[in-house]
Structure 1
Amino acid sequence: MFVHVGVQMECRERHLLIAVDLSFTGAEPRFEAVDDSGVYPLNDRYAAECGYTFGILPLQGFLELRASYLSCHTDNKVQQLFVFFLFLFVWKILTEMAMLGVTYALNKTCSPTLPWAPREATCEANYMEVRFCMKCIVLVLSTSDWQVVLQRDGVVLPPLNLSEASKQGYVFDLTNGRLVFRTPYGQPDSFSTEVISLQVNGVPVEVVHATLFSRQSWVVLMVDLVAACSMRHGYVIWETPEVLHPLVSSPHEAKVSVGINGELLDEPVAEERGYIVEKRNSTFRIAIPYNTEGGYRKSLVYGELYEFYLFDLYLEQITAEDDNVDTRLRFYRTLATPLLPRPLFTENRTVQEEHTFTVYLGSVPADVRLAAVHLNGRECTLPFSNTSSHTITEVVHPNNTHGYTLEVPFDDPVFSKEDAAMQHRLNISFTLMVLPENEPFSSQISVMALTDVSPPTFDATCSESGIGFKLDHRPFDYLWEIGIGSDLLSSELAAQHDYIMRNDSQSLQLFTHGYQYKNITLKGFFGTFEILVRDPETSAVQSSAVKTCPFTLSVVCSTDGRMTVVADLSLAIQGRGALGRTHLIDRYCRPKESDDTRVLFSFPLNSCGSTVKVRLLSPCRVAIQCTYPLAGLHRLFSRYRFESEAAGVGSIVRSNHSAEGKWFSNVNAPL
């Protein structure tokens, strides 16, 4: 319920909640409690002693106060009506040089929605509060009759009257049949202990042990009081022992209910939101998912962008004692996650045909806003002017994030005239701000686009021993792949096929003799070699470099197992027309062509009396041979077939020769 502009008050089970919009408070807002005896400023110490908890919640944008129904200055009407009077002081800004202090009177009457249990305790963020039903004792004794003894580490300290105890921060109140004991955390006479279970580490517990007593003639009344609260400062997992202290609760079965922001949730609702409440031996473990409803998320700049989550956990633990009286224990704890990296992502969505850079910046949290964009070093503040050719559009997503789409045409003034006509490069720096602190950080991306770009072009030359290719590198040649047949050109491929290749920052050079043979005659033949230029994404051939060169024939060994040889036999055989009558070992293998000095034979390797040897030994006077690497040999006349990856190396041997190793050789000797 709103009682003033920017001020909301709401009655909860055991406290009044006041939330004040931070945009309404100005600088240094403060609360004051009011009763018939005066006005009491609520500083940190006094608030903890008297049952008030307050703090600024920047994620929610509120200043929040929780006031216990049994707080010091609340009018308690027989435990059924609780009347609160408070002042809220804020500064109102009139001008840049002037402010006005304004005090707002706040009042609220609350009735508990849940009946009071005989024993109740609350573990607030800054104090512990224990409540007992003591109607019979209060009827015969006044507050001035009581004294208190504190115990720490087994040592009993000297007794104090309640006024002296109050000066030390221990508050006792006997009113309307109920005893209230309240103490801030960290008191000199408090002590810490650990409750151990078998499956979890020890859970730290802060304990204050006080014994309240009164002597009336021959009657001594004593009340043993223990305030104990779990001090586990978890992130999104919180633990509390089932038995905080032997004098607080018994080892009977306990029931735990959880909620958030001061409201308990029904068990099905808690399960639907992902809460996990489990008991491991003697310890309750509560786990809360990051994205649960009612939690708060915050961005933070720590060099880079991070995020963390806050949860105002509310937990109720009910224990049935031996006397069939329930003890209710309530916890209020703010849980926080550690800092979690929150990277943004950038995506290049440019379509070159549109001649416009399109870049998307995404996964931007709701509390982060884009403040400026630097394009090639030039700052462009937001919003862009109507005269600029570049635009930016915000894209909102349902998961509480948003993004930005930046569009910059290729002809935008941010590109200098010195830029290459075919190349446009855009360096983008997004400057973002985390709200409301206005903490800046940046995200960068560099994109490049090419216009009217042609595939690489090779220069090809012929020499006596092979075909050479040369490519002068351009900055954008990486956009294509260079291949030989179906294989990508690499140093490994060149070594495998005996190509000579050199590739440096200036050029690519390739020399090869492994070409296709065409039109073989006595005069020679034509060898052809082809280099392919492909699109790396589709493997489609964009262009090719083909070169055909004439060569003088000696021995050609084809990949399909055919030998073609031109041999000069003028020194061995004399007489006109005698060369045409020469033959190989098989007398029916005659030359395809001959002249006065040379003959041309062409025949399959497994014919004409040829021999196949893995280890070659040739006693022949004149022999011709083809040599193939075994590694590239797929078939060796299996079913009269021969198949090799590469052409063989041919030679004419005119003297005794031996060679050995991992080679297959075919030898033929003419008569």
Structure 2
Amino acid sequence: MAFKLMCSVALLLSLWSTAGCDFLVEGVLKMECHDRYFMIAIDLATTGEAPRFEAVDETGTYAITEDYAAKCGYSISVLSFLGLVELRASYFSCHTVKEAGFSFRFNLITTYQGVDAYYALNRTCSPPLSWSPREVTCEINYMEVSVRSELPCPSGLSNDWSALSPLYSAASQDWQVTFQNPDEQLPPMNLSHARREGYVFDLFNERIVFRTPYGQPDSYSTEVNGVPVEVVHATVFSRQSWVVIMVDLIAACSLDEGSFDSGYMIWDTPEALYPSLGSTQISLGLNGNLVEEAAAEQKGFVMARYNSTVQIGIPYNAEGGYRKSFVSDGIFEFYIFNLYLKQTSVDERHEETALRFHRTLVTPLLPASLTTEDQTNVAEGAFTIVLGRIPRDVQLTSVQLNGQELSVPFSDAAPYTLTEVVHANKTHSYTLKVPLDDPVVIQEFSKENAAMLHKLDVNCTLIAIPGNEPYYHTVSVTALMDVSPPSFDAVCTASGIDFKLAYRSFDYLWDISIGSDRLTPALAAKRGYTMSNDSQSLLLSVPLFTHGYKYKDVTLKGFLGTFEILVRDRDTSKVQTSTIKTCLFNTTELILCSTNGWMTVATDLAAVLPSGEIPTNTHLINSLCVPKEADGTRVLFSLPLHSCGSVVKLAKGNVTYQNKIYSVLADNVTEGMTVQCTYPLTSLHLLFSSHKFVSDKEGVGSIIPFLGPTKAIPTQTVTRPGTTTTVAPQRTRIPNLHLPPFYPTARYIKVYRVQNQFGPFSKGTKGSMQVKQFPRHV
């Protein structure tokens, strides 16, 4: 059954290789006259269900069934997956009318929703070639032989040939037929009986015609030089008195189904099926188009003669051939060729025999080896997989990516791309691109390679068209991507620094920290940062003077603030990289209390001075400690906590270093501010030892204005627990104190609004300065 189906394919291929169409009714592709047959092609797309045919003559209409077609010289092939139906009729078919040529009349019957529609199809053909004395046709479903008749027949033969000679009596002189095989001669039967057995004998256009389906009981199979052959040998005869009229009719056809070898479809036929004085002449082609042997060889055909056998080789990619895919636990392909061959021989009487073959040759199922090429370029950040050598009639219907199924074509919203490329060799390919960082990709960190391993399993579902049995093609690809710690983008703002991190799929391998503390929403809230974190990015706004800043180059015009974000290995906590951003900020009023025991103060004395007055002198408790920088009422001091007459005060849980800024006016009125840094005792190391100051935390600074009398300060009083010591004033000015070599790098912190032992705050500058107004003294 499968062979019969594939045979039908090749017959339909003739529709594509010939020119000229008659669109007589909707759905009729073409009607064509060939050298020995007439052909009608129907388009199933317009006729719906498989159409039916009826032969029409003056006696009525006759449904062309499978059995009736083989007996009467018709061949109908229906192939739904090509969308075609073809009817081929011999010029000697049962209901052909000989007028000016060979006239054919058919009814095409289509059915739609249970209703039949009839279309009349008519055509008259004139054979382009003259007839040989003997012509034999080996069709796909019958054998037919016609010989030239030299009998004086006025109008043709009836079914029992009683009209062949009006001198014969109907009782004893009917035409009869006997069949012969190599072993015996069978009993004769009259022609009416022979027709009931499926044989046809007729006198048509001055030719005696004999036709039989393959596999009749009176035919026999044999081998000629190793080639299987079916033969039917019929002899028709009639007797008048002592005269006997006999006609010998022999049909012999090669039944070789062909074989496939090294890219060629090979088909054999005996060279001498009929007597021949020499080599037979061969012309051949596909789909009913005959060319001479030399022209066929130019098209790639191969023909050889050996051991009295003609061997034809058809290249698998021959023009006019057909390729079909088949899916069953794999993708297979087979090639179909509708071979048309004419073999001409001449016998000892110089009578010519023309033998024509219509043979559908089908290759075995050949595995169609799909190719998979991994063209992934890690630098592009995507898997690139090419699935190639896919037969043109095989379509990709869906793709699974690590179990996630996607229909083809992909939606516009999908982050993946699938591109189809059609190739000239009747194949096509698909290129699939999947981003390496897509959530569907499995990612694993390889410590051995210090790289991220990306894994993707792709399961492609392919279906041969038409058909619905799927074939699954699976490919697994991996890619190693060198990983680097995340890096922030940083931007300076008027009030601080903004950091942004665009997440990568493997950034979870690291921790983000500020100093030794891991960055979390709780830490950000505690320290006054603004943090926004989602699956795409991390945004961190760090206001000026919050924990983690470092300051340098402080002047009245401005200062540099630096903030550092550390990236640590999640397992070892070792710092892998960092993002450091330094910005220039404007100086207003600030106090910085470093971890290494320095106080830096910038303030505007105008807050405690009469309007418009400029101090004539400004100093700390130690009058030799003058501003590092002054500009009108604005001053900048930088001093060690233990110097310039600073007073140390202990309280529960903290220690405060306090000094005062004195502003002397023209009328000898002294006004000023108290400045102080407060540290928690738990954070101090080596307190009061060798004037070395080490703290785990920055101090909290305060600037407190006061008013006081003008007086000289000849001595300096230093208060320590249990003692009071009067010391002569120091003569060394320290407007530009330098950090001693053994001090660590200073760290600074914003002055928080907290209450201390000096009372509530009545004034704040930029949220950092704490100021209290003291009573004015004259």
TM-score normalized with structure 1 length = 0.63
How far apart are 1:376 and its partner, in Å?
0.7
Q: 2:195 matched to 1:166?
A: yes
Given candidates 35, 51, 57, the residue that maps to 1:29 is: 51
The answer to which of 51-60 and 226-235 deviates more is 51-60
Q: 2:443 & 2:185 partners in 1: Cα distance?
A: 88
Percent sequence identity over aligned pairs:
54
| One-letter amino acid of the structure 2 residue matched with residue 167 of structure 1 | R
Q: 1:415 & 1:152 partners in 2: Cα distance?
A: 74
The match for 1:4 is 25
The answer to which of 419-428 and 110-119 deviates more is 419-428
CA contact 1:34–1:73 (8 Å) conserved in 2: yes
SS at match of 2:192: helix
The CA deviation string for residues 551-579 of structure 1, in whole angstroms up to 9 with x for no partner, is xxxxxxxxxxxxxxxxxxxxxxxxxxxxx
Q: How does 1:239-258 map to 2 (within 5 A)?
A: 239-244=268-273, 248-258=274-284
SS at match of 1:271: helix
SS at match of 1:405: strand
| One-letter amino acid of the structure 2 residue matched with residue 123 of structure 1 | C
Q: 1:120 to 1:141 in 2, by over 3 A?
A: closer
How far apart are 1:121 and its partner, in Å?
0.6
How far apart are 1:300 and its partner, in Å?
0.5
Q: How does 1:204-603 map to 2 (within 5 A)?
A: 204-235=228-259, 236-244=265-273, 248-415=274-441, 422-453=452-483
| One-letter amino acid of the structure 2 residue matched with residue 327 of structure 1 | T
Instruction: Give the total of aligned pairs.
Output: 439
The CA deviation string for residues 620-652 of structure 1, in whole angstroms up to 9 with x for no partner, is xxxxxxxxxxxxxxxxxxxxxxxxxxxxxxxxx
Q: 1:266 & 1:438 partners in 2: Cα distance?
A: 42
SS at match of 2:147: strand
Q: 2:361 & 2:126 partners in 1: Cα distance?
A: 29
The CA deviation string for residues 36-68 of structure 1, in whole angstroms up to 9 with x for no partner, is 111111111111110011112456442111100
Q: 2:105 matched to 1:76?
A: no
Given candidates 47, 50, 61, the residue that maps to 2:69 is: 47
Q: 2:197 & 2:482 partners in 1: Cα distance?
A: 85
Q: 1:57 & 1:322 partners in 2: Cα distance?
A: 45
CA contact 1:60–1:296 (8 Å) conserved in 2: no
The match for 1:515 is none
How far apart are 1:141 and its partner, in Å?
8.8
How far apart are 1:407 and its partner, in Å?
0.9
SS at match of 1:88: strand
Q: 1:414 to 1:151 in 2, by over 3 A?
A: same
Given candidates 53, 56, 69, the residue that maps to 2:78 is: 56
How far apart are 1:369 and its partner, in Å?
0.9
How far apart are 1:219 and its partner, in Å?
2.2
Given candidates 98, 120, 131, the residue that maps to 1:116 is: 131
How far apart are 1:400 and its partner, in Å?
1.6
| One-letter amino acid of the structure 2 residue matched with residue 205 of structure 1 | V
Q: 1:272 & 1:181 partners in 2: Cα distance?
A: 37
The match for 1:473 is none
Q: 1:448 & 1:140 partners in 2: Cα distance?
A: 83
The answer to which of 161-170 and 55-64 deviates more is 55-64
SS at match of 1:252: coil
How far apart are 1:226 and its partner, in Å?
1.1
How far apart are 1:453 and its partner, in Å?
4.6
| One-letter amino acid of the structure 1 residue matched with residue 427 of structure 2 | T
Q: How does 1:593-632 map to 2 (within 5 A)?
A: none
How far apart are 1:276 and its partner, in Å?
1.0
How far apart are 1:230 and its partner, in Å?
1.0
Q: 1:288 & 1:100 partners in 2: Cα distance?
A: 45
The match for 2:178 is 149
SS at match of 1:187: coil
The match for 1:16 is 38
SS at match of 1:166: helix
| One-letter amino acid of the structure 2 residue matched with residue 38 of structure 1 | G
Q: 1:41 to 1:140 in 2, by over 3 A?
A: closer
How far apart are 1:177 and its partner, in Å?
1.3
CA contact 2:266–2:313 (8 Å) conserved in 1: yes
CA contact 1:49–1:169 (8 Å) conserved in 2: yes
Q: 2:183 & 2:48 partners in 1: Cα distance?
A: 50
Q: 1:10 & 1:416 partners in 2: Cα distance?
A: 61
Q: 2:442 & 2:183 partners in 1: Cα distance?
A: 82
Q: 1:320 & 1:416 partners in 2: Cα distance?
A: 76
Q: 1:332 to 1:189 in 2, by over 3 A?
A: same
How far apart are 1:137 and its partner, in Å?
4.3
CA contact 2:442–2:454 (8 Å) conserved in 1: no
| One-letter amino acid of the structure 1 residue matched with residue 234 of structure 2 | A
Q: 2:224 matched to 1:195?
A: yes
How far apart are 1:174 and its partner, in Å?
1.2
SS at match of 1:205: strand
CA contact 1:367–1:435 (8 Å) conserved in 2: yes
Structure 1 alignment gaps of length 5 or more: 93-97, 197-201, 455-671
The answer to which of 421-430 and 380-389 deviates more is 421-430
Q: 2:219 & 2:411 partners in 1: Cα distance?
A: 65
Over aligned residues, Cα RMSD in angstroms?
Answer: 2.0
The structure with the larger Rg is 2
CA contact 2:328–2:469 (8 Å) conserved in 1: no
SS at match of 1:148: strand
SS at match of 1:253: coil
The CA deviation string for residues 591-633 of structure 1, in whole angstroms up to 9 with x for no partner, is xxxxxxxxxxxxxxxxxxxxxxxxxxxxxxxxxxxxxxxxxxx
| One-letter amino acid of the structure 2 residue matched with residue 441 of structure 1 | Y
The CA deviation string for residues 179-216 of structure 1, in whole angstroms up to 9 with x for no partner, is 000011101111111112xxxxx111111111111122
SS at match of 1:437: coil
CA contact 1:59–1:297 (8 Å) conserved in 2: no
How far apart are 1:22 and its partner, in Å?
2.7
Q: 1:10 & 1:140 partners in 2: Cα distance?
A: 29
How far apart are 1:6 and its partner, in Å?
2.9
SS at match of 1:364: strand
SS at match of 1:451: strand
Q: 2:128 & 2:109 partners in 1: Cα distance?
A: 30
How far apart are 1:272 and its partner, in Å?
1.9
How far apart are 1:87 and its partner, in Å?
1.5
SS at match of 1:422: strand
CA contact 1:390–1:412 (8 Å) conserved in 2: no
The match for 1:101 is 116
Q: 2:108 matched to 1:88?
A: yes
Q: 2:443 & 2:318 partners in 1: Cα distance?
A: 54
How far apart are 1:150 and its partner, in Å?
1.5
Structure 2 alignment gaps of length 5 or more: 1-20, 163-173, 260-264, 485-778
